[in-house]
């Protein structure tokens, strides 16, 4: 094969694409990756990673303001927004460099440009200005082009007053009055960041509760904490219009039969995503697209032989770790490995890094009942945990949902300090198909926040010790 002919060619260098390329190279397959903008994709450059860097700054600043509670004296705490943003961008740059190094280390050939299907087993690569870069051939082509923010007509981000996630990540000012439209993970994380640094934040959510994909109890506790921190939450809310002046935005919001008109300095639109299916050469292929997402089977195969799709392009859940796992499944199936298993989406954890953090895996209590399960539910509050009290982080809860007949762990839901680190314990339990008995017999270290995970299991069966 020549330098333009490969076993596997990946279009898109995000957490799905670059992982697919590396795993393919590890398995001895000649591999190429095409990326039009930046290695690491949206997650590393404009999503998961830089937002966590911003939120870390907000957490430290929040702790400064409560230093007296810990016997410490901090006077005149302040922040420099430009330096906070610069640190966030630096974190992304460091990791992008790391991805570039890993691809080089694994001998993956990288092409800069827009990749497009150009016939069976062929991909054309063009530069940003449309000039041809390369004509490539591959036995297997993996589409990993990700997704972008959904835009509502008449409320398009203008990079000044109405922000998408990109502008929100590099704010040039700290808005006094901020409207966040949408209370999913992206919206709530930005709301938490700007609120911690002093913005008067209003969150408008179209559904009847914030963080609507989470368990209802966790959602209610989250809203209570957000409002305690000074956020204004409007649920069952539809933003009807955004009228811009030179320096501010007047929002008209309909909620529960009432019309609300308020003025804001900035608006962040966080109303979902759409798949990047344009300019991929899907026309004339057997690839099917449903609401901007490519339809695939359990092995990530599209309707076109030899073409696959992974990550956000292939549908929900819209999570980087889902994309990476699909990448490995897809490549290992192509390589003919025998122990490959389809992805069970019920075992994929979700994390939101607001304050307090929220994390979950599996079915909510309501979903479990909808599916016909008789359930046993356990709960344990942070206020009952010694480590949480020592940390001064007593707001939160761990909740477990079990199948009353078999003892299967159906779901786990948490809100509180560091729950995004703790949820992996329940994820491993679900993956290994452990029962309530296995979890009860497991020894959790003391004093730790993870003890609450044990107690929440015990509580489901009337055996909680500390509550």
| Same domain, residue pair 296 and 191 | no
Angle between helices 17-26 and 81-105 (to 10 degrees): 30
Active site annotation includes 293: no
CB proximity list for 39: less than 8 A, separation 6 or greater: 13, 18, 96, 99, 100, 103, 110
Short-list 335, 290, 334, 331, CA closest to 314 = 290
Please return the burial class of 458, using the count of CB atoms within 10 Å of its CB with bins 0-12, 13-18 and 19+: buried
| Same domain, residue pair 71 and 132 | yes
Beta-bridge mates of residue 263: 250
Query: Is 156 among the domain residues?
Result: no
* Positions of the chain with pLDDT under 70: 1-2
| Same domain, residue pair 426 and 456 | yes
Q: How far is CA 115 from CA 122, 309, 358, 363, 409, in A?
A: 10, 14, 37, 38, 43
pLDDT digits 0-9 by tens, 275-326 = 999 999 999 899 999 999 999 999 999 999 999 999 999 988 999 999 999 9
Picking from 286, 306, 335, the residue at the C-terminal end of a domain is 335
143 neighbors 59 (Cβ within 8 angstroms): no
Dihedral pair phi/psi, residue 270, rounded to 5°: -140, 70
Whole-number pLDDT of residue 2 = 56
Query: Is 154 among the domain residues?
Result: no
Dihedral pair phi/psi, residue 357, rounded to 5°: -70, 155
| Same domain, residue pair 40 and 84 | yes
| Same domain, residue pair 206 and 242 | yes
d(CA 189, CA 378): 27
| Same domain, residue pair 13 and 126 | yes
| Same domain, residue pair 288 and 201 | no
Query: Is 347 among the domain residues?
Result: no
Short-list 452, 216, 200, 222, CA closest to 352 = 222
| Same domain, residue pair 263 and 279 | no
d(CA 260, CA 275): 32
Query: Is 408 among the domain residues?
Result: yes
Picking from 269, 288, 313, the residue at the C-terminal end of a domain is 269
Query: Is 32 among the domain residues?
Result: yes
Query: Is 25 among the domain residues?
Result: yes
Q: Are strands 409-416 and 357-362 parallel, antiparallel or unpaired?
A: antiparallel
Query: Is 348 among the domain residues?
Result: no
pLDDT digits 0-9 by tens, 237-267 = 999 999 999 999 999 999 999 999 999 999 9
| Same domain, residue pair 303 and 280 | yes
The residue segments making up the domain with residue 406 are 356-460
| Same domain, residue pair 324 and 301 | yes
| Same domain, residue pair 385 and 326 | no
336 neighbors 186 (Cβ within 8 angstroms): no
Task: Assign 366 to helix, strand or coil.
Answer: helix
183 neighbors 210 (Cβ within 8 angstroms): yes
| CATH of residue 297 | 3.50.50.60
Picking from 235, 251, 269, the residue at the C-terminal end of a domain is 269
| CATH of residue 410 | 3.30.390.30
Catalytic residue among 101, 321, 355, 446: 446
Q: How many domains does the chain have?
A: 3
| Same domain, residue pair 182 and 258 | yes
Query: Is 295 among the domain residues?
Result: yes
402 neighbors 412 (Cβ within 8 angstroms): no
């Amino acid at each position: 094969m020549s330098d333009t002919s490969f076993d596997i060619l990946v279009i898109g260098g995000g957490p799905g694409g670059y992982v697919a390329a590396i795993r393919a190279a590890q398995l001895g397959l000649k591999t190429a990756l095409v990326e039009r903008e930046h290695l690491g994709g949206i997650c590393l450059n404009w999503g998961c990673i830089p937002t966590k860097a911003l939120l870390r700054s907000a957490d430290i600043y929040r702790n400064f303001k409560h230093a007296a509670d810990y016997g410490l004296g901090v006077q005149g705490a302040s922040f420099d927004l430009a330096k906070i943003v610069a640190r966030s961008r630096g974190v992304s740059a460091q990791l992008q460099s790391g991805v570039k190094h890993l691809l080089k280390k694994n001998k993956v050939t990288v092409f800069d440009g827009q990749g497009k299907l150009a016939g069976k087993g062929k991909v054309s690569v063009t530069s940003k200005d449309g000039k041809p870069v390369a004509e490539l051939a591959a036995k297997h082509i993996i589409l990993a082009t990700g997704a972008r923010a959904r835009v509502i007509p008449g409320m398009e981000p203008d990079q000044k007053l109405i922000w998408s996630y990109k502008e929100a990540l590099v704010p040039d000012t700290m808005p006094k009055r901020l409207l966040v439209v949408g209370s999913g993970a992206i919206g709530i994380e930005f709301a938490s960041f700007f609120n911690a640094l002093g913005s008067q934040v209003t969150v408008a959510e179209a559904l009847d509760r914030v963080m609507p994909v989470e368990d209802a109890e966790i959602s209610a506790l989250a809203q209570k904490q957000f409002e305690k921190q000074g956020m204004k939450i409007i649920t069952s809310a539809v933003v009807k219009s955004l009228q811009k002046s030179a320096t501010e935005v007047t929002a008209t919001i309909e909620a529960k039969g009432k019309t609300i008109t308020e003025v804001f300095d900035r608006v962040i639109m966080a109303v979902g995503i759409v798949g990047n299916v344009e300019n991929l050469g899907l026309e004339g292929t057997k690839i099917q697209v449903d609401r901007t997402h490519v339809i695939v089977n359990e092995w990530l195969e599209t309707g076109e032989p030899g073409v696959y799709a992974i990550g956000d392009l292939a549908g929900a859940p819209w999570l980087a770790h889902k994309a990476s796992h699909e990448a490995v499944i897809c490549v290992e199936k192509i390589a003919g490995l025998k122990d490959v298993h389809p992805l069970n989406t019920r075992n994929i954890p979700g994390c939101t890094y607001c304050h307090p953090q929220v994390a979950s895996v599996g079915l909510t209590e309501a979903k479990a009942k909808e599916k016909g399960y008789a359930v046993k539910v356990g709960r344990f509050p942070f206020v009952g945990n010694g480590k949480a009290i020592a940390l001064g982080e007593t707001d939160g809860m761990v909740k477990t949902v079990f199948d009353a007949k078999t003892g299967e762990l159906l779901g786990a839901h948490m809100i509180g300090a560091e729950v995004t680190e703790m949820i992996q314990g329940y994820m491993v339990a679900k993956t290994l198909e452990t029962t309530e008995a296995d979890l009860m017999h497991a020894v959790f270290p003391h004093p730790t926040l993870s003890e609450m995970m044990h107690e929440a299991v015990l509580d489901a069966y009337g055996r909680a010790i500390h509550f």
